[in-house]
Chain A
């Protein structure tokens, strides 16, 4: 009998036998096989961040929960993606995200088109059981075309990654730590005065919430165009070959 190649790993996700390349993550394999794992900070075309913890999965024999977006597959793994415990944890994570910022959908430019809102609906988060922090966060509307409302930022770092990895400018980064952490442009200079920003708008389009938006959009008018990301990644791969 022919031995299976060592590059191919076989594992089980939710009882379904699947095969995967050894450098794939649990999340990638699950998607290929039509198994849904909720994600928020992850976006196809950018490096994984592993920050939102919504893609946590249970693996048999491992005490910890593992983030599917950064965990590579292993031979014989038994993965569970949707246990009652995970559902509970995911809802709690969402509640914490909501309570940490000022997420008021009714007055938000992306109302109805928000990744965070959609996930809360999908995962059945009906209310927030922890007290809201109501932080006072600053807004930066110094850019000609775009604006940043840190009250709606969930620190997924999609903007930081797209600016660094795709645009190559690295205008964005996270400043401070803990509850004071926030995104900044350059040396905390107003966005409009940034020397490095190319005004390409990639950050605005990958932002999952209404934290980054185009100026002149009223409530629920802002839709994000994400098509460019897989396209650019594909075209660049072609060029580097």
Chain B
């Protein structure tokens, strides 16, 4: 925050830094940021919920971002998400109760040639079958 001179306009940058450090934005940190930058609480909350990048809940240890872009969707990314939903009972944007695994969806990863694609813990994997993805997640949650 000092780097940004405690300027109210630096709100988004500061929230970025907080999320990088803690993985998500909890109520205490939002209150702290609001007070330090003299930004109204409701505006901090509004910004944090407007941008999909910010998470207000802790994320799982592992993450799977399934691409829901047109190409991936046609190639069956919908069935990947369905399969995971069935197996773990979570919808995109949610985390399993044991905080092991978060399922996320993306508009388009830009890897349409690899459709259907997903990002598994930061690595892009392409031409996926639902069972392959489940296999990977099982390894994590063992």
Question: In the bound complex, do residue B45 and residue A188 qualify as a contact, i.e. CB atoms below 8 Å apart?
Answer: yes
Question: In the bound complex, do residue A174 and residue B46 qualify as a contact, i.e. CB atoms below 8 Å apart?
Answer: yes
Q: Count chain B residues whose beta carbon lies closer than 8 angstroms to a beta carbon of A.
A: 12
Question: In the bound complex, do residue A187 and residue B31 qualify as a contact, i.e. CB atoms below 8 Å apart?
Answer: yes
Q: Count chain A residues whose beta carbon lies closer than 8 angstroms to a beta carbon of B.
A: 18
Residues of A contacting B: mostly:
loop
Q: Is A177 an interface residue (CB 8 A)?
A: yes
> Which residues 193-219 in A have Cβ within 8 Å of B in the complex?
195-196
Q: A171-B40, A173-B40, A196-B40 are in contact. Are A184 and B50 (CB under 8 A)?
A: no
Q: Is A39 an interface residue (CB 8 A)?
A: no
Question: In the bound complex, do residue B40 and residue A175 qualify as a contact, i.e. CB atoms below 8 Å apart?
Answer: no
Residue of A170, A172, A186 ringed by the most chain B CB atoms within 10 A: A186
Question: In the bound complex, do residue B46 and residue A175 qualify as a contact, i.e. CB atoms below 8 Å apart?
Answer: yes
Inter-chain CA distance A169–B41, complex, in Å, is 10
Chain A residues positioned under 8 Å from B27 (CB to CB): 187
Question: In the bound complex, do residue B30 and residue A187 qualify as a contact, i.e. CB atoms below 8 Å apart?
Answer: yes
Against A, the Cβ 8 Å flags (1 = close, 0 = not) of B25-42 are 001001100000000111
Residue of B27, B30, B49 ringed by the most chain A CB atoms within 10 A: B49
Chain A residues positioned under 8 Å from B46 (CB to CB): 173-175, 184
Chain B residues positioned under 8 Å from A177 (CB to CB): 49-50
Contact partner of A170 among B30, B31, B43, B49, CB < 8 A? B43
Q: Is B44 an interface residue (CB 8 A)?
A: yes
Chain B residues positioned under 8 Å from A171 (CB to CB): 40, 42
Inter-chain CA distance A184–B31, complex, in Å, is 15
Question: In the bound complex, do residue B30 and residue A173 qualify as a contact, i.e. CB atoms below 8 Å apart?
Answer: no
Residue of B42, B45, B49 ringed by the most chain A CB atoms within 10 A: B42
Ranked 5 nearest A-B pairs via Cβ: A173-B42, A170-B40, A173-B46, A186-B41, A175-B49
